[in-house]
A and B are shown apart, each in its own frame.
Chain A
Amino acid sequence: MRRMKLEEVYPHVRGESGKLYRKNHPRSNTPDRDRTSTSPGIKPQSPHLRQSTIVRVVSWITGTLKQRQFTLSHVLHHSYYMPIPSQSCFLHYLVYANILITWPYHPTLASSIISCTPSIPVDRISSSLGRCAMLGSSFVRSFPPERGALDPILCAGGVDNSRKNKNEVHRNYDPNLHPFEAPREYIRALNATKLERVFAKPFVGNLDGHRDGVSCLGKHPERLSWLVSGSYDGEVRTWDLAQCRNLRSFQAHNGYVRGVTFVPSGQQFVTVGDDKTIKFWNMEGPMWGEEEEPTNTILSKTVLMDISYHRKDPLFVTCGEQCQVWEETRNEPIRTFQWGTDSIHNATFNPVEAHLMAACASDRSIILYDTREIGPVRKVILKLRSNKLCWNPMEAFIFTCANEDYNLYTFDTRNLKQPLTIHMDHISAVTDVDYSPTGKEFVSGSYDKTIRIYETHKGHSRDIYYTKRMQRLTCVLWSLDNKYILSGSDEMNIRLWKARASEKLGVLKPREKTALNYSEALKEKFASHPQIRRIARHRQVPKMIYNGQKELRTLKEKKKIKEANRRAHSKPGSVPYVSERLKHVIAEEH
């Protein structure tokens, strides 16, 4: 078993060893009687001597919220090694460790504690079973033990282990010595927040080359730097993200490339186009002199709007007039699902519960499929149609859809009656949504020419990205390392953004990292303070967005007022309150 360093177990020990405490060393002010009654502290006596004295270390006062890791196990861990050498020694130990003494009540010990600690009321050293006596931090301060007394217990060789590292800064953590800790932290938090805004430069790079608007993007399941994009003119391009370079480009379809996805192995990708074909392409380009050709082409009888690949099995699903499940090796769909006559423009497999699939239909509905047996199982109709749907990769039952009504809705699959969260803030139809691989956030692209980043459980966006020349967003992606966001837009460019606007890219030195983490923690801690909140929330947005938001706000206000008026002027109860969540779902069908 590893012996722990003194600091690890008793963090304030280091602080106590400062010169400040030498003044009121117990030797100098405790009465002689105490000294005579105890044996010399350095040498522990035989453990058998004090068998009857069971003094137990029970707990550990950490004081702060998150500080959880020292505690019992460490103390206890140590207590195995801890014979009770002599009372005074043990007492010191207790004092040092800021620890509770318990049961059984040991009169001598208790009285000696009382006699040397005027700050502790007697009743706190309780005699009853299981009750504990708490030695507060003030106690620790007033009676620093001698190091010699501690050594046999804690220090391995009796040498001053706590001072091994000469470069360490020794601090005294006594809160009374730091009256301004909270204000200082506040200032730091404020500065951190300001700096975050200063450094918020999310735009990383731009992939240009498409000759028409980018219609779809596909991310490689294993390689971070590979990207495939399709455009409205039927061209497909592959990109090397690390170098912002186009690797290949070829005409894949006549008409739009509707969807692109990778085969789980990552060796191939599949595109579907308006020409009703499904084409498989090798990730590796053709040899020199060879022509670009798909490895496999499947002709579909129906229009294809989207494609999604099963994460584990060699299955994929296409949608259009109907949902079709295909097997890689067959040219006919193995299953066809149809519920209603409306066309489906988006289908997505659940990455976790892999046989589940959800689709957005043009009758404003979202349909849930179980691809193994029954097919469609549930349908939920919203007020306007959803453009895109994305499953949370870490929470199997959560999905978010990007809706035409400027909002995004996060649903729990098991309860489709109402969305869990409505994510507002866009001022035009939301065209695409993609989850971060951590499942904590998602990115959405909208027709209002902005990208917004939302936290999964929050109704408003945490950040907004835009550039002057970026037009309507068609597709967005969150890279699989949680660091970048990709967006394709109408004006033929693919843009690369940082997922966290002010994050420093590249390798960080440990101290730098710690400092950044600290400032993050501070920002979080003081987030509710008005000034900090104001600065953190502030975004300079284009006039169009600003005005649009204002307009929407007034609209909403107006509706609210109208409803209130109606309620006021009609029979009580006839105009019921309807929660915002319930307003957006029209029906749930089965």
Chain B
Amino acid sequence: MVEHSNGNIVVPENDNDLMDSDNEVNEKPHTVLLEAISQLGGKQRVKPPTRKEPSLQISEFHLVKRGTGFKSDVNVNELVEVLGQRSSHAKIGRKLQSIQKKSKTLRKPLEKNLSEKIQRSLGFENVKKELGKWDAVVHKNRSSDSLSFPLNQPDSRLPTSNALIANWKAEEVEYPLSLEEMIERRKEMAKLRAVQSFQASKAVRQKKIKSKKYHRLQRRENVRKQLKNFEQLKKEDPEAALRQLEQIERSRAEERMTLRHRSTGKWAHSKAIRAKYDTEACISRQVLAEQLAISRDLTQKLRMVSTSSDEDKDDEVEVLDTDADGVKKSEIDQFVSGYRKFWEEQNQKKALTNVTVSSPSKNVSQIVNNKSEQNNKVEKLKILTSVVEKVEELTEGRDETSQEESSTAVTSSGDFIVTLAKENPTKSHSNIIGKKRATKRDKEKMKKSLKHPVIDEELTEIAGKGNHTNISIGTEVDEIISVWEPKKLEKETSVENRNLVIDPNDYLKIKPKYLRSEHPDLSTGGDEGIDDEEDEEEMKRYNIVSEAFADDNVVADFSQEKKEAVIKSTPQNIDLSMPGWGDWAGQNLSVSKRKKRRFVIKVPKDAPRRDENKGNVIINQEKDVKVKQHQVSDLPFPFESVKDFEASMRAPIGNNWVPEMAHRKMIRPEVLTKMGTVIQPMDNASLIIKKKKCGRKSFFPEVNPHLHVGRVENHLGKTTRSSPNRDSNLDLPVLSSRAQHDKRISQLRHRGGRGFLCDVVVSLTPDTPWPPVVFGAQFYVVVLPPNWLGIGLQQYVKGERGAGAVELLRFLTSAIRRCGEQRQLSLLSSIPALRSGRENVRGAGIVRWGNFSQRLGVSQQHQFTWQKCQLLRKETERQGRERGSERVEFLTDLKTTRIFYYTMESSKKREEMLMSIDAETSGTPTNLVVDDYIRGRFPTHHIAIYCISALKEGLQVRHDNYEDGGVGYTATLDGMTVF
């Protein structure tokens, strides 16, 4: 092979050449001959280029096929001959010969343009592929509402946890409180001070007030408050209540000693006198009564309320409540009748015991006192007194009523009063009385005495009803009434009834429309007799109406009106002709055709009116002519329905109608630029760079602490001697060595997960010194109840501890302890199986933290075999069942790894899917889908998703607010959106 100066290679083609060169030929004639031959062929010899400038370009026209006859040509054979006939050289000769025999001509290369074509198309494919990587970024930019240029790409990588910790440490050393906390505290202090000063000034002001009335009211208020407090105290702290009771006892004694509030004092005397002559007697009398009431209150002995009365009260409340809530009356009636029976029985019993008490000549109040002492019920007593007062008044007003009757009334009064408080119908009684007497004083007293607010609330409502059903409820009350008012009252009530009650038959009867249907007529019940009457009435009514509107011809008027409207709306022809011009003028002269044609401008025939054939309707067509030109005729582009478009128009964006912040957001321009700033073309930095995918084995760092020499921490922070012969270790495939492990860790570090889900999510990159991943787990989902905030995750992140899963667990346990909280915290870790075979599933397990102390034993095991997992699972399930709270799921599905969480809400079993992580067959979780579903479920919880190695590079989780107000998280992986 010979290489020529122009770089072409000439391969000797056949043996003839060799043979020729072997023979010795005369040179000169030979060359002449050759030239002659070449000329004969008509081929033009191309001369080699003379210029010898180095050039990269090789022209095809410069290719010269060298003739065989050149002197300068050297053949290989000649060279071999030179070597001579030595045996050592013969070898070479033979070799050459064999080569020459074997050698074939190379295949003709592809034509240049063809090969280039192929190359070009390949090149284009490459270009396409390369350009494709910009798709995601471009798409994002195109679809974003507002872009701010220059597109600065802040370092989206999260700082490494080491760096974070270092920062926090520094902070913590310097300030015990964070800035926010300080501000908070300061605010609190300020508020406290403000309140203090306000109270002080208020106290001073109050002290200065001279009005006795004010102080009296104040005192009364205080007493009331104290009573209330006492009630509460009784429930919460009986001992303190006892102490207070003693004090009250003392005050009672004092009162009894001084008799301050009795009617014996000077002031009381004067009041009494004044009451006689005062026009507004009731006031002074009232004041006196109040005084007496105070004294009564003070001198009363306080006893514990008996249980039976408690029950009664409860019942009362119940009944009232249902009533207030508007439950059906029939139910109440039922209930009331049942209750009445019960009380009748009770009364009979009591009547026996109370016989001795009933002495007719005694003062009513005294009786009441006696009764109250017997019953020992303060509350009841109050009600009692009030009602008794009323009874008193009644008796005063009625001369006819005999003493005996009143006494009977009084005897039953105790029970009756209870019923009064209990049952609404009694109010009808009081109401009637009120009507009869109708004095203001009565009502006031009523209100004062009847402490329960519901009663006076319901008063009016029941009145009507009570009247209606009045007699049906035959309680003692009615009896009493009947005794007091023999027949007269009944008559009266009946008269009232007529006035009050609306007779359903008196309603204006609307004739029902009779539809032609197959159903039997149930409404009339085949009663034809009524129909005739109705018809008559209707006829009468009709006649009246027709009489009233006799003169109006409505229909004709309307049609006239419509005609006018039509004429008014149609444009008239314009007559421009001048009378008398070019024609005779005068009356009754017909206008010539020519004139009509020339001077009358005809209005073009318009479209028919919209109300033309619509009967009695006038449609005003000219109403919105002016508006029309402002209205949109076609649906604009992005909208698909008119409704949507209209809604978008209706939603205002101005700050007159929308809060300022929203307004600002909505008017944010599409493109924001900074003045005087150069916007550089897009840079590679904005690209999410997809690194080479690791093999599935190398993706997860295989960590087997027992492979390390020396002491190893378990996840509870204790250091134990690592024992290679533990059963858990036996069936573990030894995949990693120390070196390998280190390498992977560093890989992970470089990857820099960019996961960011919600507020509390922390992505922990495993660059802690010790195995960052316990059991090779990738995710830790921790759901903390809301009141954990103080010691919550922020603090954890802040904490001095390294950010590994081990640390996390440790932190949580300590947090539980610190909390002193018996609440259960669930923590869960999942382990996507690393190997395909089920038997080899390694380290799959859930550490579940229930009641801390109970669970401790379980959680200490941190290396599980599959069998162990099963066992553990069964165990935990059993325990869970016992406690009736949770279920345990095991997460060993290879394709889809789901993480469940368990909330331990009191006795409620709840299990929610928190997150589903689709793992590829390789066990590499690629898509992380977290939606508002999760957030929606646990809005008050902290949700922390700890992604240790699952967040691949390029996985970005975006927080989106949708237009409809929803929220979602979108995970993007290398620009591809994964929803």
Q: Which residues of A contact B (CB under 8 A)?
A: 1-3, 7-8, 11-12, 14-15, 31-33, 36, 47-48, 51-52, 54, 56-73, 75-77, 79-83, 102-104, 130, 156-159, 171, 173, 175, 178, 181-182, 184-186, 188, 221-224, 311, 336, 351-353, 356, 368, 370, 373-378, 393-397, 413-414, 437-440, 480-483, 507, 514, 517-518, 520-522, 525-531, 590
Give the CA-CA distance A40 to B145 in the complex, in Å. 46
Query: Do A394 and B682 form a contact, CB below 8 Å, given A414-B128, A517-B668, A517-B669?
Result: yes
A76 to B678, Cβ gap below 8 A?
no
| Separation of A473 and B625 alpha carbons in the complex (Å) | 46
Is the pair A377, B673 in contact by a Cβ cutoff of 8 Å? no
Chain B 762-803 interface mask (CB, 8 Å, partner A; 1/0): 000000000000000000000001110100101000000000
Given contacts A82-B940, A83-B787, A378-B124, contact A351 B681 (CB under 8 A): yes
Is the C-beta of B434 less than 8 angstroms from some C-beta in chain A?
no
Whether A353 pairs with B651 at a CB distance below 8 angstroms is no
In the complex, which of the residues A57, A440, A514 contacts B664, with contact meaning CB atoms closer than 8 Å?
Answer: A514
Q: How far is the CB of A501 from chain B (nearest CB, A)?
A: 16
CB neighbours (8 Å) of B677 from chain A are 481
1/0 per residue, CB under 8 A from A, across B313-355: the answer is: 0000000010010000000000000000000000000000000
A159 surroundings in chain B (CB, below 8 A):
187, 191, 194
Identify B967's interface contact among A32, A73, A130, CB under 8 A.
Answer: A73
Contact of A69 among B130, B131, B138, B961 (CB under 8 A): B961
A368, B671: Cβ atoms under 8 Å? Answer: no
21 contacts between A and B (CB under 8 A): A3-B184, A7-B659, A11-B661, A32-B453, A51-B823, A54-B940, A68-B665, A68-B961, A130-B936, A130-B937, A157-B188, A159-B194, A186-B630, A221-B680, A224-B678, A368-B127, A377-B123, A414-B131, A414-B132, A481-B677, A517-B667
Least Cβ–Cβ distance between A377 and chain B, in angstroms: 4
Contact of B657 among A76, A175, A353, A437 (CB under 8 A): A175
Q: Which residue of A lies closest to B178 (CB)?
A: A1
Choose, from B32-40, B241-249, B631-639, B840-848, the stretch at the interface: B631-639
Tier of interface size on chain B: 35 or more
Known: A175-B657, A481-B673. A80 touches B940 (CB 8 A): yes
* Chain B residues positioned under 8 Å from A373 (CB to CB): 123
Indicate which residue in A130, A370, A438, A481 contacts B127 across the interface (CB closer than 8 Å): A370
Chain A residues closer than 8 Å to B633, beta-carbon distance? 530
B149 contacts A by Cβ under 8 Å = yes
Minimal Cβ-Cβ distance residue in B for A480:
B678
| Stretch among B114-122, B414-422, B828-836, B888-896 lining the A interface | B114-122
Closest to B647 in A: A65
Q: For residue A421, give the distance in angstroms from its CB to the closest CB of chain B.
A: 14
Task: Tell me, yes or no, whether B689 is within 8 Å of chain A by CB.
Answer: no
Q: Chain A contacts of B959 at CB under 8 A? A: 73
Closest 5 CB pairs of A and B: A11-B659, A528-B636, A68-B961, A393-B681, A437-B679
B754 within 8 A of A: no
Q: Given contacts A2-B180, A11-B662, A173-B657, are A79 and B134 in contact (CB under 8 A)?
A: no
Q: Is the CB of A104 within 8 A of B908?
A: yes
Known interface pairs A1-B794, A66-B145, A71-B967. Does A356 touch B191 (Cβ–Cβ under 8 Å)? no
Closest residue to A532 on the B side, CB-wise?
B630
Instruction: Let me know if B184 and A182 touch, CB within 8 A.
Output: no
Instruction: State which of B661, B792, B962 has its C-beta within 8 Å of the C-beta of A7.
Output: B661
Tell me the complex Cα distance, A568–B814, Å: 87
CA distance A64 to B662 in the complex (A): 9
Cα–Cα distance between A438 and B149 once the two chains are bound (Å)? 7
- Chain B contacts for A396, CB-based, 8 A: 131, 134, 138, 682
What residue of chain B has the Cβ atom nearest to residue A156's Cβ? B187
B758: CB under 8 A from chain A?
yes
- Chain A min CB distance to B930 (Å): 12
Docked pose: A394 CA to B687 CA in angstroms: 12
Q: Does B963 contact A (CB under 8 A)?
A: yes
Of the candidates B681, B938, B939, which one forms a contact with A352 in the assembled complex, judged by CB atoms under 8 Å apart?
B681
Chain A CB within 10 Å, residue with most, of B126, B632, B679 = B679
In contact, A59 and B681 (Cβ under 8 angstroms): no
Question: Could you tell me the distance between the alpha carbons of A440 and B671 in the complex, rounded to whole angstroms?
Answer: 9
- Are B666 and A374 interface neighbours, CB within 8 A? no
B147 partner, pick from A66, A83, A393, A438, beta carbons under 8 A? A438
Smallest beta-carbon distance A352→chain B, Å: 5
* A590→B121 contact, CB < 8 A: yes
B149 to chain A: closest residue by CB: A438
Partner of B682, one of A47, A158, A352: A352
Would A368 and B661 count as touching, CB distance under 8 A? no
What CA separation (Å) do A70 and B130 show in the bound complex?
Answer: 39
Contact of A377 among B124, B661, B681 (CB under 8 A): B124
Across the interface, which residues of A come within 8 angstroms of B670, CB to CB?
440
- The residues of A that contact B676 with a CB separation of less than 8 Å are 224, 481
- Please list the residues of chain B having a beta carbon within 8 angstroms of any beta carbon in chain A: 56-57, 117, 119-124, 126-128, 130-132, 134, 138, 141, 145, 147, 149, 151, 180, 184, 187-188, 190-191, 194, 321, 324, 453-454, 457, 629-634, 636-637, 648-671, 673-683, 758-759, 785-787, 789, 792, 794, 823, 905-906, 908, 932, 935-940, 942, 959, 961-963, 965-967
**Given that A8-B661, A395-B138, A507-B675 are contacting pairs, would A80 and B942 also be in contact in the complex, using a CB cutoff of 8 Å?**
yes
Contacts of A185 in B (CB 8 A): 652-654
Chain A residues whose CB sits within 8 angstroms of the CB of B191 once the complex forms:
157-159
For A413, the closest partner residue in chain B by CB is B131
Give every chain A residue within 8 A of B673 (Cβ-Cβ). 438, 481-483
How distant is the Cα of A224 from the Cα of B961 in the complex, in angstroms? 38
Q: Is the CB of B939 within 8 A of A590?
A: no
Given contacts A54-B905, A378-B120, contact A482 B656 (CB under 8 A): no
Which among A31, A67, A69, A103 has the greatest number of chain B C-beta atoms within 10 A? A67
Most A Cβ at <10 Å: residue of B126, B631, B653, B671: B653
Which residues does chain B contribute within 8 Å of A481, judged by CB atoms? 673-679
CB pair B657–A530 under 8 Å, yes or no, is no
Contact A394 B141 (CB under 8 A): yes
Q: Are B789 and A81 in contact (CB under 8 A)?
A: yes
Most buried by B among A61, A530, A590: A590
Write out the residue numbers on chain A whose beta carbons fall within 8 Å of the beta carbon of B657. Answer: 173, 175, 178, 181
| Nearest neighbor of B760 in chain A, beta-carbon distance | A80
Contact call A72/B659, Cβ cutoff below 8 A: no
Separation of A73 and B959 alpha carbons in the complex (Å): 9
- Provide the bound-state CA to CA distance between A77 and B678, in Å: 38
Q: CA of A171 to CA of B657 in the docked complex: distance in angstroms?
A: 8
Q: A159-B187, A414-B128 are in contact. List 13 more A-B contacts (CB 8 A).
A: A47-B787, A65-B651, A66-B653, A71-B961, A72-B935, A73-B959, A374-B123, A394-B682, A413-B131, A438-B671, A482-B149, A518-B663, A530-B632
The minimal Cβ–Cβ distance linking B298 to chain A, given in whole angstroms, is 27
CA distance A178 to B651 in the complex (A): 12
Contact A66 B666, beta carbon cutoff 8 Å = yes
User: Across the two chains, which residue of chain A brings its CB closest to B905?
Assistant: A54
Residue from the list B119, B659, B787 in contact with A374, Cβ < 8 A = B119
Q: Is the CB of B905 within 8 A of A52?
A: yes
Cα–Cα, bound, A530→B668 (Å): 24
Q: How far is the CA of A263 from the CA of B729 in the complex (A)?
A: 64
Q: Are A370 and B131 in contact (CB under 8 A)?
A: no
Distance from B824 Cβ to chain A, minimum over Cβ atoms (Å):
12
Across the interface, which residues of A come within 8 angstroms of B119, CB to CB? 374
Are A157 and B187 interface neighbours, CB within 8 A? yes
Q: Which of A60, A336, A377 has the most CB of B within 10 A?
A: A377
Chain A residues near B785: list those with CB within 8 A.
Answer: 51
* Nearest CB in chain B: distance from A586 CB, A: 18
User: B663 contacts which chain A residues (CB < 8 A)?
Assistant: 518
Q: Within 8 Å CB of B649, what residues of A?
A: 182, 525-526
Q: In the docked arrangement, what's the CA distance between A30 and B679, Å?
A: 61
Is B180 touching A531 in the complex (CB atoms < 8 A)? Answer: no
Q: Which of A36, A58, A175, A413 has the most CB of B within 10 A?
A: A58
Q: How many angstroms between the C-alpha atoms of A527 and B636 in the bound complex?
A: 9
Chain A residues with Cβ under 8 A from B660's Cβ? 7
